[in-house]
Every structure is written in structure tokens, then in C-alpha cells.
Structure 1
Amino acid sequence: MEQISNGMSADLLTDVQWRKSRYSGAVGNCVEVAQLPTGEIAMRNSRFPSGPALVYTREEIAAFLAGAKDGEFDNVLH
């Protein structure tokens, strides 16, 4: 695997297991995540699996998930 950087092609992230939520639709409109060997978390759009991957630290993902569970982003869909 080459140097990991935010926005790199997800195709370059080899040896990772991409996962998506069981709530995802069957038509490929999903966000997929993968834990990287560095401990960071990568995200990609399942409609464009070779497109860019956004790379976050574990702390960034933990903060986002805590906010989502607490309802901080409930107004995004309104």
C-alpha cells in the first residue's frame, strides 16, 4: 500500500475490508468504511468505489459517531 492520504483513490487501499451499514439500500447508495493498518478509518461512496477515500483518525470518527448518537445531526435531513 502506498502512502495513505486524504482523497486518494480507494482502489489504492488494498488489504482492507470495506463494510457498509445493514441499513444501506440495495441500489448502491451507501457509505462504506474500512479500518486501515495505520489505525485510521477510510470512507468511500459505494456508487464510486474507485473514487476518493476520505481518511479520518479514530478520534474524529468517535466524535462524529457520538454526535450522531446524541442527535446533533438530526436536522441535516430536514
Structure 2
Amino acid sequence: MTALNLTTARWRKSSYNTDQANCVEVAFLDATWRKSSRSTDTSNCVEVAFSGAAVGVRDSKDPDGAVLAFPDERWSRFVDSLR
């Protein structure tokens, strides 16, 4: 088994986190965030990153904000439903 180097990971905690809540933090390692080629400075777009079996989605105007994570098979079904 190979240990992951997490020293450069950017961990994200839920905005609903409190001292009493048990929240999960998520990190996307070596993920390349992609924005739609139709995106402009004034449009509302999201960025997508593929990281192993998860797909991350974030607001392109707030790259340090919240990230939604979806299992890759659910993301594929979502994209297929848009076609």
C-alpha cells in the first residue's frame, strides 16, 4: 500500500460545520479544474474537476468556496440526461 502525500492538499469544510457537529472535509488531489469554453467574466458558470471516483463542482467566481462532490457514475448520468 502506498501512502498519499497530503501536505499540499486544500481541505474544504462544510459551511454548516460547528464545534458540536461531525462534518467531513474533502480534498481534491492533483485535480485540474475546468471551466466551460462558453464562460465569460459576466456569466454564472461552474468549474468541474475529476479526481478518482469523484467529480467536484464549484462556483467559478469563488474557487476557494464550497465544493460539491458527486460519485463519477452519478455525474455521468447527469451529463447524459442533458443531451
Q: TM-score, normalised by structure 1?
A: 0.65
Aligned length: 66
Structure number having the greater helix percentage: 1
Is the CA contact (8 Å cut-off) linking 1:24 and 1:30 kept in structure 2?
yes
Aligned match for 2:60, one of 23, 46, 53: 46
How much identity, in percent, do the aligned residues show?
29
Are the structure 2 counterparts of residues 26 and 53 from structure 1 closer, same or farther at C-alpha, using a change threshold of 3 Å?
same
Whichever of the two has the greater Rg, that structure is 2
2:25 and 2:63 map into 1 onto residues whose CA distance is 9
C-alpha separation in 2, matches of 1:6 and 1:15: 18
TM-score of the pair, normalised by structure 2: 0.62
Aligned 8 A contact 1:28 1:47 in 2: no
| Long gaps (5+) in structure 2 | 1-5, 15-23
Q: Which has the higher contact order (CA 8 A, sep 6+)?
A: 1
Task: Please provide the CA RMSD for this pair.
Answer: 3.0
Moved over 2 A (4+): 4-10, 12-15, 26-29
Determine which structure has the larger strand proportion and give its number.
2
